[in-house]
Amino acid sequence: MSPPARSVAPDFLAPGPGGGWCLTGRRCTACTEVLFGRQDRFCPACGAESLTDVEFGGRGAVWSYTVLRNPPPGPRRADDPELPCPLALVELDDAALRVSVPLAVPVERVRIGLPVQLDPRPLYVDDDGAQVVGIRFREVDR
Amino acid sequence: MNPDDIVVAGVGMHPFGRFDRVTPVQLGQTAVIAALRDAGMRWNEVDAAYFSSMYLPATSGARTLKPLGATGIPISDVEAACASGGVAVKQALMGLRSGEYGCVAVVGAEKMPRGFMDPRAIFDPWQIEMGTDVNPGYWAMRAIRHMHDHGTTEEQIAGVAVKNHRHSVHNEFAMYRKEFSLGEVLGSKLVCDPIRLLEICAPNEGAAALILVRGDRYARDDRAPVRIAGCAQVLAEFSADWRAPMHSLSARDAERVPPTTRAARAAFEQAGLGVEDVSCFEVQDTDGFSELEAYEHLGLCEVGESGRLIDARVTELGGARPVNVSGGLISKGEPVGASHLGQIVELVGQLRGTAGPRQVEGARVGLAHVLGAAGNCAVTIVRR
């Protein structure tokens, strides 16, 4: 039996409390700034060492976007994203935060304000047979 | 001459472009030898040197400059991405202002690989796996949001490229010296919507150098002396950070003061000048939109109004606020360690009145601006 799927970036995408996946981050208890991911020890906004782990709901709206027209550079195990591929800054519904993610949305439908939700994309199968997944958002009815 | 004034005694360039058979040492030496000649000085008069580059190996400054004379002076390499040259100027300025040095050489040289910059330098492996490791993507998303909020158009963004390519025709140091029509720019390939191929600067090779001296070491000649009036280097604050961490952006817009604004304020304060005093600007036109954003962040216009400066041809040579009359990085290319010093070389020529067909009439104050990875930003102001 193959091991369970795992996140390509466990500090940013992790198994959710109710099954499935969720985006993760930290919140500063001193200044209330919200951060994407769990790599920070000090709050970059105020400098306090008072960050607490949070999970995000995974719903948001496109705040801005672009469209990748060429294969992205660099070595990767995953297949290149299908082109043209929209990339977006998605503003989360439950945090003053915009996260930079690929969209599984046809280019002609992408617009600022489009409601979207987390829908992780299988990237590649690891050496031990585990599916590795990455962050991606898809359109959702509001 | 006030002994505490910092004077640009000499400037020199190696053209920006592609030079497969020229080594980085040769690029840098060409620029600094030209700058020494321009100053009428010899290497043994230099008290210290700062060498800016991002892609060259350790001790490139010493390797480039020690062969001019092993005088034992300190030669330090500095790096701050696209703002590397600003750091070199800033360090030189502090050494000169303190009086510890009387003459400092500031040299920037670069030799960058062709094509997209290697994403591993600034992106994590997971971002590369997901395919979000595309540099123009971040600039492009700024542009789309600006178009949405303020009605800025693709034609206005393309207009920046048309203007800068037109300016470049007279610049023998530029990589591309060809005019393009608005139709040709808008017809060029989309790289990351809305940014097109002819609107983006290319990483390349080249070098630029300045010889800076204190007023009491300056030997007056028949040219008007050009002074460094101010120089500031900043890093983007968290809420204003569009470039890094590249996985997210704070949504607290109200707290956002862009790095360009902060650097310009600090440099103007040192200079005792304001944006209205500036005769010509050289700004970071990584792409057409980046130049428009610089207009707003430097205070050439209100936020949202930058596209209208293109429509009204305000920032063209001959306009009230000429920007990038050198052709900008869109035409010159961007050898990151040398780009800011190249801007200053251009402005010194403008202030001396030796810029030929691209001369800004009566130029007295020039402002150079760079902005890049991690929100590194530098602004240098020169004046007659």
pLDDT in tens, B25-34: 999 999 999 9
**What confidence score (pLDDT) does residue B294 get?**
98
Task: For chain B, give the number of residues.
Answer: 384
Residue A3 has pLDDT above 80, yes or no: yes
Residue B332 has pLDDT above 80, yes or no: yes
| A70-122: pLDDT as tens digits | 888 888 999 988 899 999 999 999 999 999 999 999 999 999 999 999 999 99
Q: Report CA-CA distances (Å) from B65 to B44, B48, B157.
A: 11, 11, 40
**What confidence score (pLDDT) does residue A63 get?**
97
State the average pLDDT over residues B236-248: 76
CA distance B145 to chain A (A): 5
Mutate to test the interface with B, among A32, A66, A92, A124 (most CBs of B within 10 A): A66
Outline where chain B has alpha helix (H). 24-39, 60-65, 84-97, 125-130, 135-150, 154-168, 182-187, 259-271, 288-298, 306-311, 328-332, 336-352
Task: Flag if A72 and B119 touch (Cβ within 8 Å).
Answer: yes
C-alpha dihedral over B17, B179, B117, B297, to 10 degrees?
110
For chain B, say whether A19 makes contact (Cβ under 8 Å): no
Domain coordinates in residue numbering, chain A: 6-139
The answer to whether A60 and A118 are in contact (CB under 8 A) is: no
Partner-chain residue, chosen from B119, B136, B145, that has the shortest CB–CB distance to A63? B145
Task: Flag if A78 and B130 touch (Cβ within 8 Å).
Answer: yes
State the average pLDDT over residues B226-247: 85
How far apart, in whole angstroms, are the C-alpha atoms of residue A49 and residue A45? 11
The confidence band for B244, taking pLDDT boundaries of 50, 70 and 90, is low
For chain B, say whether A108 makes contact (Cβ under 8 Å): no
From the number of C-beta atoms within 10 Å of its C-beta (0-12, 13-18, 19+), residue A39 rates as middle
- Among chain B, residues having any CB pair with chain A shorter than 8 Å are 115-120, 123-124, 126, 128-134, 136-138, 140-142, 144-145, 148, 189-195, 238-239, 245-252
State the average pLDDT over residues B148-161: 98
**Per-residue burial over A51-74, b = 16 or more CB atoms within 10 Å of its CB, e = otherwise:** beebebebbbbbbbbbbbbbebbb
**What confidence score (pLDDT) does residue B20 get?**
95
Q: Is the ipTM of this complex over 0.90?
A: yes
The confidence band for B256, taking pLDDT boundaries of 50, 70 and 90, is confident
For chain B, say whether A80 makes contact (Cβ under 8 Å): yes
Exposure of B112 in the CB half-sphere (CA atoms within 13 A): 28
Identify all chain B residues contacting A70, using CB atoms and an 8 Å cutoff. 191
**What confidence score (pLDDT) does residue B243 get?**
52
Task: For chain A, give the number of residues.
Answer: 142
Q: Which domains does chain B have, with CATH numbers?
A: 6-114+206-212 (3.40.47.10)
The confidence band for B253, taking pLDDT boundaries of 50, 70 and 90, is confident
Task: Flag if A66 and B141 touch (Cβ within 8 Å).
Answer: yes
Largest CA distance in chain A: 47
Which of B233, B262, B265, B266 minimizes the C-alpha distance to B340?
A: B233
Bridge-partner residues for A62, per DSSP?
A: A90
Partner-chain residue, chosen from A33, A85, A112, that has the shortest CB–CB distance to B250? A33
For chain B, say whether A41 makes contact (Cβ under 8 Å): no
